[in-house]
Amino acid sequence: MSRPTAAWNPIDWSLTHGVIPYAILAIGCAALLALAVSGTRHWWSRRLPCAVVIAAALATLIQIAVDDWWQVLPDGLPYEVTGWLGVGILGLCLAAFRMPTLRWRGRAGAVVAAALVVLMSASQINREFDQYPTLRVLLAPWIGKTEKLTTGRVSSVVTAPPGRPLSEVWHRPANLPAKGTISTAPVPGVKSGFNARDAYVYLPPAYQADPRPLLPVLVLMAGQPGSPADWVNSGGLQDQMDAFAAKHDGLAPIVVVADQTGSTWGNSLCMDSRIAKAQTYLAQDVPDWVHTHLQTATGRTSWAIGGLSLGGTCSLQLGVNAPQVYGSFLDISGQEEPTLGSHDKTVQEAFGGDEAAFDAVDPLHVMARQRFPDTAASFVVGASDGEYGPQQAKVYAAAVKAGMKAKAGTVPGGHDWNTFRAGLGDNIPWLAQQTGLTG
């Protein structure tokens, strides 16, 4: 599912930087101004103020509903997003108030203008998260292709000698493909009963070789709201892994993008609780499936887990609660503790109000009472992320105190895909070293 990067192809033009988003912003502002300006006295004294009040009220209601009632986003709805939602609603309200005074041609123009305002609003929200950097990513569910998963085994394998990386004994064959493959596959919750969506599996070029190198495994997770497809589309997973493989004779980690939430808006907390047995799924079902269907390196030092936002918090949780499975983890913009929106709500819904049960698996509490000298950890956060930055600093300090081989860093960006993509890309070499792929 790799993406061509030809600059001449319109679906590869940037939607978040350069001419296109600024053109959409200019056209949208012009459309909003056209809707807002009228020559009648009643418009200025009644209808325009009424539209502004309704838009502001609805945007505020959305903010309250998401943050205080629904609490579906652990980090809440950014105020910038709420503001642009309000602008989009204002465009619709203005068009609606203009309709009774217009003829059919004018009404059609009002509809078009409102659509342009909504487009501007959506574009600015997309710039906030950088979820869809190009049309190719936006259209990926319809135009993206995946390949059949290679599940067969070969009789001859290449393994890393004790104390040496696999790259030292691997020699690229002449007929090795230049690119890896992306496939989808169901990973059932045999032991956990967890109902997960299909995983995405990246197999690097070297996996197609015979003899086959026994490659390490990275289990990767998206955020909330989100899905495994996010890492493939918005995260450019295949491009990043293929770029690393191209510099290392086709070697790269196998990546399994697992579903730890079960749905777009779900939050399993990555724990075994009243909500779900998500930890069992990630610590047992996913590794069991990999061992059954793929030919990989084994042992905790060959396995890593990582993720973004909620997925980053999950990687921390598995790193401290299942260290026998994962020897290293990558936490990109994760939180200081698992949450459903508030601590009290989390403890109540997950453990029936039992604080001791929560503390038994909460990463900060686990690291306070247990040492992890054989675990490697990398923490990454956006340089302008004022909410998650302090939380990451707190968790990093706890990891160091618990004896982990931990490192922390920042990349340009906030809590968005600019940070998430860079957070993974910058750490692929580190992951390769920690899992014995390279020296």
Q: Phi and psi of 111, rounded to 5°? A: -65, -45
Helix 19-36 to helix 104-129 angle (10° resolution) is 140
Q: Which residue has the tokens 């296109």?
A: 20
Show pLDDT as tens, one digit a residue, over the chain (439 residues): 444 445 578 899 999 999 999 999 999 999 999 999 987 888 998 999 999 999 999 999 999 998 888 776 766 788 899 999 999 999 999 999 999 888 999 999 999 999 999 999 999 999 999 999 999 999 998 888 899 999 999 999 999 999 999 999 999 999 999 999 999 999 999 999 999 999 999 999 999 999 999 999 999 999 999 999 999 999 999 999 999 999 999 999 999 999 999 999 999 999 999 999 999 999 999 999 999 999 999 999 999 999 999 999 999 999 999 999 999 999 999 999 999 989 999 999 999 999 999 999 999 999 999 999 999 999 999 999 999 999 999 999 999 999 999 999 999 999 999 999 999 999 999 999 999 999 9
The helix/strand/coil state of 385 is coil
Measured CA to CA, the distance from residue 133 to residue 296 in angstroms comes to 33
What pLDDT score was predicted for residue 307?
98
Residue 190 to residue 289: CA distance in whole angstroms:
9
pLDDT at residue 102, rounded to an integer = 87
Which among 380, 374, 431 is positioned nearest to 403, based on CA atoms?
A: 374
Q: Compute the half-sphere exposure of residue 105: CA atoms within 13 Å on the CB side of its CA.
A: 0
CB contact at 8 A, 161 and 197: no
CB contact set of 112 (below 8 Å; sequence gap of 6+): 31
d(CA 332, CA 395): 12
Distance separating alpha carbons of residues 35 and 91, to the nearest angstrom = 7
Measured CA to CA, the distance from residue 185 to residue 198 in angstroms comes to 5
Q: Determine the straight-line distance between the first and last CA of the chain, rounded to whole angstroms.
A: 29
The structure's pTM equals 0.90
pLDDT of residue 3: 45
How high is the pLDDT of residue 77?
84
CA atoms lying within 13 Å on the CB side of residue 30? 8
277 DSSP assignment = B
Residue-level length of the chain: 439
- Integer Cα distance of 317 and 363 in angstroms: 6
Domains, the chain, in order of start with CATH, read 17-129 (no CATH), 146-434 (3.40.50.1820)
With beta carbons less than 8 A apart as the criterion, state whether 263 and 72 touch: no
Q: Is 221 helix (H, G, I), strand (E, B) or coil?
A: strand
- d(CA 120, CA 147) in angstroms, rounded, equals 36
Burial of residue 404 (CB within 10 Å: 0-12, 13-18, 19+) is buried
